[in-house]
Structures are given as C-alpha cells and as structure tokens.
C-alpha cells in the first residue's frame, strides 16, 4: 500500500472538510472500508464535484472507451496505475492502466484507478439499478 499516493488522491480530489478523517481511515486497516462505504453511498458528498467529469455510456466497448479517454488526458496504457478499492487483491497495488481498466471496471464496487498522482484518476461508484456512476477525476494543478 502506498499511503503517500493515497494521500495525494484524497488531498487533490476529496472534499476539504473530510480529508483529515479520510487520512486517518486510510491508515487503519479495519477503518479503510469506511472510505469505500462513503463512496458507495454518496460519491458527490465525498469527492469535490468540481473534479468529477461524468463518462457517458458507450455500449459494449465501455472499457476501451474509458481507457481511450484517460489516454487522451495524458495517461499511458502501459504505465503503472494505482488501485484503491474494497474488494480486490489489487487494492493498494500498482498495475498497468490497461489491465486495471480491463479487470477492475464494472465489478460493482467503488474503485479509484489513479493514473497521474493527484492529477488524473478514474472513479467508479457502486452499481445499483443500471450501470454504476463513472467519472474521470481531473485536476489541472495538483496540490
């Protein structure tokens, strides 16, 4: 687990008033799942809405569309992307962006795939009725 990378994600994309609590929850293993519970129930209440850019549905090739959009914004398909999720053996790991999108998207649980620390990421919410909410998280100037 790369706590510094996760702190960059929280610091750059999450709502200011929640950051200290989320930093704490990230470092305590039995509290870590609370972050994903928050994201599942109300992503707009956790992530700063000015960095949420919705991704429209594109049919059967949604994974390739998501990968294409991330690459257009500066990510590289074979670069290492950092994964934050609640259900996968990939949580807290770096894997190629292409593999991350192919294996992690549409699994029904909230996840963040961080492409460029604090600058570009993919967020997928919990699946409910229909497809889950999906966003590109983008910040022009990371802090």
Beta strands in 19-72 (DSSP E): 52-54
What pLDDT score does 62 carry?
Answer: 79
Distance CA(33)–CA(60), nearest Å, equals: 30
Q: Rounded to 5 degrees, what angle do the CA atoms 23, 39, 15 make?
A: 55
Distance CA(97)–CA(95), nearest Å, equals: 6
What pLDDT score does 61 carry?
Answer: 60
Distance CA(103)–CA(142), nearest Å, equals: 27
| Domain residue limits, the chain | 3-138
Task: List, in sequence order, every residue forming a beta bridge with 81; answer none if it has no partner.
Answer: 95
Task: List, in sequence order, every residue forming a beta bridge with 121; answer none if it has no partner.
Answer: 114, 137
pLDDT values of the chain reduced to their tens digit, one per residue, 143 residues: 898 999 999 999 999 999 999 999 888 888 888 888 888 877 888 999 999 998 887 765 678 889 999 999 988 888 899 999 887 788 899 999 999 998 888 777 889 999 998 899 999 988 777 778 889 999 987 77
What pLDDT score does 60 carry?
Answer: 58
């Amino acid at each position: 687990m790369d706590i510094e990378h996760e702190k960059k994600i929280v610091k750059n994309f999450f709502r200011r008033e929640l950051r200290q609590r989320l930093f704490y929850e990230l470092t305590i293993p039995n509290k870590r799942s609370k972050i994903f519970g928050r994201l599942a129930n109300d992503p707009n209440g956790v992530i700063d809405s000015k960095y949420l850019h919705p991704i429209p549905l594109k049919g059967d090739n949604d994974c390739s569309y998501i990968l294409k959009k991330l690459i257009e914004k500066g990510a590289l398909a074979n670069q290492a992307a950092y994964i934050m999720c609640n259900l996968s053996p990939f949580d807290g790991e770096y894997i190629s962006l292409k593999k991350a999108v192919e294996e992690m998207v549409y699994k029904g649980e909230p996840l963040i795939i961080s492409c460029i620390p604090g600058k570009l990421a993919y967020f997928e919410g919990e699946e409910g009725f229909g497809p889950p909410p999906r966003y590109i998280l983008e910040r022009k100037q990371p802090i």
